[in-house]
Structure formats: structure tokens, C-alpha cells
Amino acid sequence: MTEIRLHDVELLPERTLGTPADDRPLRGRLTFGWDLLPAGHAGAPTGWSSYLEAAPEREFRHLLMVCSFRPETPENKGVFRHAALGVALATPDPAHRPVARLIDPGERTRPVPGTGTGVSFTVTTGVLDVGVERPPGATPAREEWIVRGHGASQPDPQWEFRRLKAFPLLGDHPVSALVELVPDHPNTAHILLSAELHNRTLRRYRAHLTPTPITL
């Protein structure tokens, strides 16, 4: 099992009209970590092995990244609205760039109840039973995305993260890219991270990740 060490990412306040003049960054709310794995390891996403078997002459790496959103505290109030993670793959020669052949997830979803759906509570002999009430004609639950990936077969994949009404943007969110390396060149990945957090004073914060190229 892969163990990723997460590093704290500062959240810097944006100066906007009408907000308090407080330039103090937030710490301990957002962390980021990564690991570089063999392309064919046992924990790779479903379907990657068949892609690798079809291209035995090419070299790949599995770039695994984790964004971790922490709940608010009395000292650091506010909720995450959305975030974005981008990867810029490169070599010293701009004409030759590594490519993220496959990305995971393409989309990660959560069920959202449709209109007209209620919740019923029944207590029998001390046991609470929670059920779902769906009146005639009510819309069934639908799937809404919370993480969405873009840029498969491109040198600059990216992922969006967002909160839903029933699902706050919290916890660990892993994403992956199967990177095809450029032979005979040093291959690197530059990570770009942004996140937006709003507190009750309508103050908005942005993530600041120190640029650190990852050698592939």
C-alpha cells in the first residue's frame, strides 16, 4: 500500500473591496502530496494494465497525487468552494513533452436526491430506521460530479474539485496520471494548485504552492 506524505499549503487572503485588511494566511486547512510509482503496479486504476500491454516498447510512470481538504476550526473558519490541480509535463526541449496518456478519475460523482424526495424516520423497539420517501412523480436521485479530470493524451492534465450542497469539499482526494516519458530526456512535472475558501466575512483565500518540479 502506498503511503503519501502530505505537505501543508498556505491559503493567502485576496484583497477585495469591503473585506477586513487582514493579510494573515491560513495554515493547516489544505495539504498536498505525491508519489511516483511503476506504471504496472498492482494498485493502478482499472484498465491501465491493458494499455501498457499494448505499448511494451514505451516507458511510463504512474504519477499519484493527493489533495486533502481539512474542516474549519475555531481559529481558521471558512468552507472550501472549489479547487483545481494542474500538471505541466516538460523536458528541456519544448518540442518534446511527456504526455498524460490516461488520467484518473475522469469523473468522480456523488448521488444527489431529486426534487420531491423526503426522509422518513421510524423508531421500533429502540432502533431508528431511516428511509427515503419518494412521492408519485418525484425525480429520482441523480449523479453530480465532485472531481472532474481533463487533458487525457495531453501534456497538461488538470482536475477540478467542487462542493455540493450535501457533500462539502473535505477529506482526501487522490488523482493519477499515466505519464508517457520522452526517451533520452530528463522528464519533469510542475504542479499548479489553486483553491477557494470563503468564510463568514466573505473573505476569499487562494492556495499558494511553492513551485517544486517532480523528476519523472
pLDDT by residue (tens digit) across 41-62?
Answer: 888 888 899 999 998 899 999 9
Count CB-CB contacts under 10 A for residue 161: 21
Closest CA to 195 of 165, 159, 164: 159
Instruction: Map residue 100 onto helix, strand or coil.
Output: strand
Instruction: Map residue 69 onto helix, strand or coil.
Output: strand
- CATH superfamily assigned to domain 7-110+144-215: Mu homology domain, subdomain B (2.60.40.1170)
C-alpha cell read off for 14 = 485576496
Contact 141, 113 (CB under 8 A): yes
Domain ranges of the chain: 7-110+144-215
Residues pairing with 179 in the sheet = 61, 100
Question: What stretches of 16-158 show up as alpha helix (H) in DSSP?
Answer: 48-53
Low-confidence winner among 99-103, 160-164, 195-199 (lowest mean pLDDT): 195-199
Q: What is the pLDDT of residue 136?
A: 59
Q: Which H or E element spans position 36?
A: strand 30-38
pLDDT by residue (tens digit) across 168-215?
Answer: 999 999 999 999 999 999 999 999 888 888 877 666 777 777 767 889
Peptide bond into 105 cis (omega under 30): yes
Residue type, 80: F
Contact 87, 193 (CB under 8 A): no
Task: Choose between 193 and 117: higher pLDDT.
Answer: 193
Strand ranges of the sheet holding 30-38, from the earlier edge strand across to the other edge: 7-8, 30-38, 60-69, 171-180, 99-104
